[in-house]
Amino acid sequence: MSYALFACTPEPVSSSSANVSSFDRIHALATGVVAWQQRGSEMGSQQNALHQLVSFILGASAAAVLLFFLTTATSGGRFTGISTWANGTTGFDGAPVQEAPATPAREPAAPAHADSKFLDDIVCCSCPARSCTQQGTAVEQEDELERLLRAVADEDRTVIMTSVNEAWAAQDSLLDLFLESFRSGERIAHFVDHLLVVALDGGALEHCRAVHPHCYLLPAAAARNLSGEKVFMSKDYIDLVWSKVQLQQRILELGYNFLFTDVDILWFRNPFERMSVAAHMVTSSDFYFGDPYSPMNLPNTGFLYVKSSRRTVGAFEAWHGAREAFPGKHEQQVLNEIKVELVATRGLRIQFLDTEHNAGFCNNTRDFNTLYTMHANCCVGLGAKLHDLGNLLQEWRAYRQMDHEDRARGPVRWKVPGICIHRLKGYLRRITFFVFEMWFATVFALLILFALASIGRSLDMLEKSYYTEIGVASLGDSIISQDSAEDGETDELLPQTQFADLAQLLPKVATDDRTVIITSVNEAFARPNSLLGLFRESFQVGEGIGHLLNNILVVAVDAKAFSYCKAVHPHCYLLEVKTMDLSSANNYMTEAYVELVWTKLSLQQRVLELGYNFLFTDVDIVWFRKPFRHISAFVDMTTSSDVFSGDANSLDNWPNTGFFYMKATKRTVEMLRRWRAARAWFPPNHEQAIFIEIKHELARDLGVRVRFLDTARFGGFCRIFHIDMGAACTMHANCCFGLANKLHDLRDVLRHQ
């Protein structure tokens, strides 16, 4: 596009090592197993080339087969949606799919949290594997689970969980190695406090309690003999994994998010950093094909994060219900069978983690600079897993001692050979597995296509998944009224009478993940053919973001703006800003403007107190694409940038709070309270200038995690020549004064996008 047309466009501007523990005994014990196993680097490079060549040929062949059948299908035919499991619905009628309730009797307004009425009336009777009447031991087990979840969960109501039997929990076995990886990792030791270890037998429970404070005996497994090392795909193994799915569903029903991790996974860095706020479910991958949201990726549910909501509870009900349709298959295989259906009919948003950062022995990832987790898959036998994971952890410790300059020179690879890694046998096993999975995926895809072709709806309907993509963990009711009120911590909260009607309005606007998009307008911005109309138009013409209009709350700062808003938008809120006249377009840095931005910050604090996450966007921002994929679920605040240094986590970036996301927690409520209080220290500045002054203090004192968005994707007129328009999500008319100038340039941007 030509930027010469713009009225406002500027010219281009140029650790210390971990303590020694049982890991050392594990390594010493296992080293002798593979003395005969030494290999040279030349053989490793040859194997890598073979692996990549075969993967390429097989992948290209499978793609060609699928393309052939797609192009030879009846061109004028009509296809239909896939039949649903459990009580889901098909939703290809031209309107966004509404979330299918878990049971017909479930009230739509009930929050997903652990109050007794929700559990008794909604959850208990809706679960096929549960009885509505719980007595004796079942009640005690339920109470124990809830007690442990309260003790383990973090402030986001997220629990990390793993499972062990007696063989894995024994001294110097996988559980010890797993816990050691947290202590040796980069700033992840604190996650052990939020880890629930699920014991599959009494011996495992005893071993667990000797080394970890939070252990739970799985009731469904207690009746079976699961104490030994279970062989993959044996009957006991299959029963085990489905019992874990039931437990995970129960955790979601109780209002907790979870990250399940197999105990044969080493953690090196914080994996939450790579999880998007857009996803309802995040899984590692056996095979990853480049697009993190493509159902063509093959999941590995040994590392699985799920947010608590009605949508995910319903998805788990469907997942467990599908077991009967695929007898003899474990939960990962069944999920792979129904993943397309879950996306299409239930609006489930699944993010697949790439194998470069969340790797396994099945993959050939070997760079410590990029590694977050390593899974000992494609590795049979407890001794083999212990040997290879022990070697890997030892080399990771050596990597942690390296200078930053040495790390930055290039890939830092491990060199010690193993039983399951660095061997031709391992590569052949991976190739065999890859061939099987590609054959399976091809046959499954063809069956779907022919089944759909016989009924009749257009294929492009499958490609559209109408869903609400926003969200972080479901927090239930107001986080303040539930938690802080009990603790006597309400003195610093906003008065309950301030913004009182928000509590009734927000449920109508919010997504099922309790997230609201907020913008604000005055009379000049809201009148016809002004910024509000252009803002709404950008959603209508953007790439798959039209449905987000239903989740936007437009805050009007004067009565006429409120009237204009109600004429074009379903969700409008009149904000009282003392007695000042805010109807004019030329308000920047006037007394009225400064008062307005601080009042909006109070409104945003109230939204958080009510338990809702929000994304605030100035109305002079046009949207092109979904921004939520670029917002991490781990951080407290994600903000656009006036100046971006290249490091998204550096507080040296300059924020632009015209576009920022916050999730609802006690920490963020306190953050906004301190932010508002700092106004008195730096008069008469607006909120963005003061945030710059106190951002380091907030990070230091509260542990606030802030991430900055790249100006290449979330741009503005201040940095117009740094934007990649082919991938940009938003464009902000900053560095542009005058309503007419903003309208002219934003219309031109939207027309040429």
Q: Are residues 519 and 417 in the same domain?
A: no
Please tell me the predicted confidence (pLDDT) of residue 585: 61
Please tell me the predicted confidence (pLDDT) of residue 121: 34
Q: Are residues 410 and 511 in the same domain?
A: no
Please tell me the predicted confidence (pLDDT) of residue 607: 97
Q: Are residues 189 and 294 in the same domain?
A: yes
Q: Which of 55, 63, 53, 54 is nearest to 441 (CA)?
A: 63
Q: Are residues 454 and 548 in the same domain?
A: no
Are 469 and 513 in contact by the 8 Å Cβ rule? The answer is no
DSSP-based three-state secondary structure for 707: strand
Is 721 inside any structural domain?
no
Is 503 inside any structural domain?
yes
What is this structure's pTM?
0.73
Q: Are residues 411 and 528 in the same domain?
A: no
Is 224 inside any structural domain?
yes
Q: Are residues 440 and 534 in the same domain?
A: no
Q: Are residues 203 and 341 in the same domain?
A: yes
pLDDT higher for 97 or 712? 712
Residue 267 in tokens: 């953690």
Is 75 inside any structural domain?
no
Window from 435-444, 569-578, 724-733 with minimum mean pLDDT: 435-444
Please tell me the predicted confidence (pLDDT) of residue 555: 96
> How many domains are contained in the chain?
2
Instruction: State the CATH number of the domain containing residue 399.
Output: 3.90.550.10
**592 — pLDDT class (breaks 50, 70, 90):** confident
From CA 107, how far away is CA 654, in angstroms rounded? 45
Q: Are residues 483 and 450 in the same domain?
A: no
**586 — pLDDT class (breaks 50, 70, 90):** low
Q: Is the pLDDT of residue 410 over 60?
A: yes
Boundaries of domain holding 179 = 116-463
Is 199 inside any structural domain?
yes
Please tell me the predicted confidence (pLDDT) of residue 234: 72
Are 664 and 636 in contact by the 8 Å Cβ rule? The answer is no
Q: Are residues 505 and 428 in the same domain?
A: no
Please tell me the predicted confidence (pLDDT) of residue 118: 32
From CA 639, how far away is CA 651, in angstroms rounded? 11
Are 1 and 725 in contact by the 8 Å Cβ rule? The answer is yes
Are 312 and 306 in contact by the 8 Å Cβ rule? The answer is yes
Q: Which of 152-166, 360-374, 417-431 has the highest mean pLDDT?
A: 152-166
Q: Are residues 239 and 161 in the same domain?
A: yes
Is 43 inside any structural domain?
no
Q: Are residues 421 and 540 in the same domain?
A: no
Instruction: Check whether the bond before 684 is cis (ω within 30° of 0).
Output: yes
Residue 275 in tokens: 């999880």
Are 604 and 668 in contact by the 8 Å Cβ rule? The answer is no
Residue-wise pLDDT tens digits, 22-33: 545 444 444 443
Is 71 inside any structural domain?
no
Is 198 inside any structural domain?
yes
From CA 485, how far away is CA 372, in angstroms rounded? 38
The chain-wide mean pLDDT, for the chain, equals 78
**442 — pLDDT class (breaks 50, 70, 90):** low
Please tell me the predicted confidence (pLDDT) of residue 317: 96
Q: Are residues 443 and 483 in the same domain?
A: no
Residue-wise pLDDT tens digits, 264-277: 999 999 999 999 99
Please tell me the predicted confidence (pLDDT) of residue 688: 93
Percentage of the chain modeled with pLDDT above 90: 56
Q: What is the residue-wise DSSP string for 593-637?
A: HHHHHHHHHHHHHHHHHTT-EEEEE-TTEEE-S--GGGSBSS-SE
